[in-house]
A and B are shown apart, each in its own frame.
Chain A
Amino acid sequence: QSVLTQPPSVSAAPGQKVTISCSGSSSNIGNNYVSWYQQLPGTAPKLLIYENNKRPSGIPDRFSGSKSGTSATLGITGLQTGDEADYYCGTWDSSLSAGQVFGGGTKMTVL
């Protein structure tokens, strides 16, 4: 059971938009920045979004992030087949069991 809750899967057609939600609590998302990672099949995770909505150099603006209260959302527009991957949200949890926590991951399929 992950501390952050993500939908197990999402899907959309090429060219369309998809959003992936990440739900937490006041001890994690509510008081810390959120990051998002893309894991293509058989590869290591790659940073997509940091500090809720910032993109590292080289990440296209088709990827966006937002946060409201204790939830965060990753948006992907202009879907491409190469975007098929697992997506994870992450943040720091400041509860008694403090530490870096991740969502359970969302498998994104391009139909």
Chain B
Amino acid sequence: QVQLQESGPGLVKPSQTLSLTCTVSGGSISSGAYYWSWIRQHPGKGLEWIGYIYYSGSTYYNPSLKSRVTISVDTSKNQFSLKLSSVTAADTAVYYCARMVINLGSWYFDYWGQGTLVTVSS
């Protein structure tokens, strides 16, 4: 059974960089069959996709966040990470990591982490 677990600071100051890591267990990030995504949910709101990374390091980001987002992968640790720069209070949200399936017009998330709340405040 694949499991994903987010980790990182729960409080980040405005203008600083938010950094989170997702540790994958029960499966290898390097399997090549999946992509690895970050998704966030503002308090009481819907889901917003942030971006994905393939085990090779290739990435694709939400155009609305692209200028501030970096997703990286460490296959030796079976982890992938999110960095979001120049954060403001509008970046306060629950951040989820998820395994993404991409296949001939099909895009979906079959496994999710439990989520971690990140609050941006001084």
User: Is B49 close to A, CB under 8 A?
Assistant: yes
User: Is B105 close to A, CB under 8 A?
Assistant: yes
Question: Which listed residue, A46, A50, A105, touches B46 by the CB 8 Å rule?
Answer: A105
CB-based contact B115/A100 at 8 Å: no
- Name the prevailing secondary structure of the B interface residues: strand
Which residues of the other chain, A, contact B46 by a CB distance below 8 angstroms?
2, 88, 102-105
Q: Please name 20 pairs of A and B residues whose Cβ atoms are closer than 8 Å in the assembled complex, sorted by A.
A: A32-B106, A33-B105, A35-B108, A37-B109, A43-B114, A45-B112, A50-B101, A50-B106, A51-B106, A56-B110, A90-B47, A90-B109, A99-B60, A99-B61, A100-B37, A100-B100, A102-B48, A103-B46, A104-B46, A105-B46
CB-based contact B48/A47 at 8 Å: no
1/0 per position for A89-111, CB-CB distance to B under 8 A? Answer: 01110000111111111000000
Which residues of the other chain, B, contact A44 by a CB distance below 8 angstroms?
96, 112-115
Instruction: Please name 17 further chain A to chain B contacts, defined as beta carbons within 8 Å, in addition to the given A2-B46, A46-B112, A47-B108, sorted by A numbering.
Output: A33-B108, A37-B47, A43-B114, A44-B115, A47-B110, A90-B107, A90-B108, A92-B107, A99-B49, A99-B61, A99-B63, A100-B52, A100-B107, A101-B49, A102-B46, A102-B49, A104-B46
User: Is A31 close to B, CB under 8 A?
Assistant: yes
CB-based contact A97/B64 at 8 Å: yes
CB-based contact B107/A45 at 8 Å: no
Which residues of the other chain, B, contact A90 by a CB distance below 8 angstroms?
47, 107-109
**Looking across the interface, which residue of chain A has its beta carbon closest to that of B52?**
A100
